[in-house]
Structure 1
Amino acid sequence: MQFRGLKIKARLYFRRCRKYLYHSILHADDPPHKLALGVALAMFVMFTPTLGLQMIITVFLAWLLRANKAVGLPVVWISNPVTFVPIFYPCYVVGCWLLNQPPQIDSSFWTRLSTPPSGAGIQHYWDLFKGVAAPLWIGGIIVGTLLGALTYFLLYFSICRYRMRRWGQLVPPKPRFRH
């Protein structure tokens, strides 16, 4: 019985979040290009193995390319320790395929990762990461570029279409206050 209540609360929470994100993107006071570019940059950065630095990189790239800084941040939050494997493993496989090398991640890799030898420090994890770093970076950059470009075009045309239907112009109208 409690599970059902939790499920309903989660559904309402995600519905509110989705509504907020739609509203903040579609009604932001920026041209469609800046909004779409901000989300596309975040999509690109999300697929790079830079956990912990992704927000900083996204804001820096958005500043550098004059994109909207705020709309991309929720996209980067999708990439977190819980979603690490479903996001980065396909990037790793693509990188291995491009480098023409077999994937090195198997059950023994996960065993070595979860149970380090006694007395092993950070060097043990660094050695494990060095074996998968090149394919992960190359695959992440390729997948991030493709999905970032796709996101840009889909979002750009969606925002333009929505705004033209809603207001007849691409920039939201200024609010009119009565005194």
Structure 2
Amino acid sequence: MFKRKPRSYSQIASDIVYPRGGWGRAARYIVHRVRRLPDEPSRIGRGVAAGVFISFTPLFGVHLLGGLALAWVLRGNLFAAVLGSLVGNPVTIPFIAVTSVGLGRWMLGVPGSMSPGVIMAAFTAAGGQLWHNFMSIFDSRVAEWDRLEAFFNGIFLPYLVGGFIPGVIAAVIFHYLTVPLVRAYHRRKAQRSARRNGAPSAVDAPPEDGG
């Protein structure tokens, strides 16, 4: 009778868009989980950096797998990469998309700017045409490539190019924030363990007599 009722798919989707307790509480939970990971601080930092970087790419739908793959290449913590990839969420994605596409279009010499709504609509239209072309393999419909070509040149490629620089900057920042955070937590944990065992920690131990 006290068994927790499983959440419905609509509740899960709602929590993805806006977590219960708000994004501030969700961010504090992520920080709490990151610092408690049982791994070397440098590996955790590389994992978080991998997840953060992949959030600045237009590879929607495979951010998680991309973050895991990049963390594996960098020899980072895989679970830390999962947590780092949460930087790309419904709140931040519009800002990341506008920044990345705008910077990429400028770097590639493509005129004009894009709003978040236009960018997301372009992804939806391209996905629809991609599905149409896939289904054309099995029926008599004719494959079409106009929207996919316009999407690749106007949105996807600028997003991919423009997201690289802010992605690297954000990944470096998160790495150098994560490592001391995890290191400090591990140090406090070691001190508490030493006090429980009755042995002085490196901080509590009296200084040696140099004379």
2:167 corresponds to which of 144, 147, 160: 144
Superposition deviation, residue 100 in structure 1? 4.2
**Alignment length, in residue pairs?**
158
Per the alignment, do residues 145 and 101 of structure 1 end up closer, same or farther by CA in structure 2, a change over 3 Å counting?
same
Per the alignment, do residues 77 and 158 of structure 1 end up closer, same or farther by CA in structure 2, a change over 3 Å counting?
closer
Compare relative contact order (CA 8 Å, sep 6+) and give the higher one, 1 or 2.
1
Paired with 1:149 and 1:115, the residues of 2 have a C-alpha distance of 31
Corresponding residue number in structure 1 for 2:97: 88
Paired with 2:90 and 2:176, the residues of 1 have a C-alpha distance of 29
Paired with 1:133 and 1:114, the residues of 2 have a C-alpha distance of 8
5+ residue gaps, structure 2, are: 1-18, 131-144, 198-211
TM-score by length of 2: 0.60
Is 1:127 aligned to residue 137 of structure 2? no
Corresponding residue number in structure 2 for 1:48: 57
Superposition deviation, residue 145 in structure 1? 0.8
Corresponding residue number in structure 2 for 1:4: none
Per the alignment, do residues 30 and 124 of structure 1 end up closer, same or farther by CA in structure 2, a change over 3 Å counting?
same
Paired with 2:90 and 2:57, the residues of 1 have a C-alpha distance of 14
2:20 corresponds to which of 10, 19, 22: 10
Superposition deviation, residue 39 in structure 1? 0.5
- Which ranges of 4 or more aligned residues in structure 1 deviate by more than 6 Å? none
Which segment drifts farther, 97-106 or 27-36? 97-106
Deviation per CA, 1:35-56, whole angstroms, max 9, x where unpaired? Answer: 1110000001110110111111
Per the alignment, do residues 115 and 47 of structure 1 end up closer, same or farther by CA in structure 2, a change over 3 Å counting?
closer
TM-score by length of 1: 0.70
TM-align CA RMSD: 3.5
Which one has a bigger Cα radius of gyration? 2
Per the alignment, do residues 48 and 12 of structure 1 end up closer, same or farther by CA in structure 2, a change over 3 Å counting?
closer
Paired with 1:26 and 1:144, the residues of 2 have a C-alpha distance of 22
**Equivalent residue of 2:39, what SS?**
coil
Paired with 1:54 and 1:150, the residues of 2 have a C-alpha distance of 19
Is 1:31 aligned to residue 53 of structure 2? no
5+ residue gaps, structure 1, are: 1-8
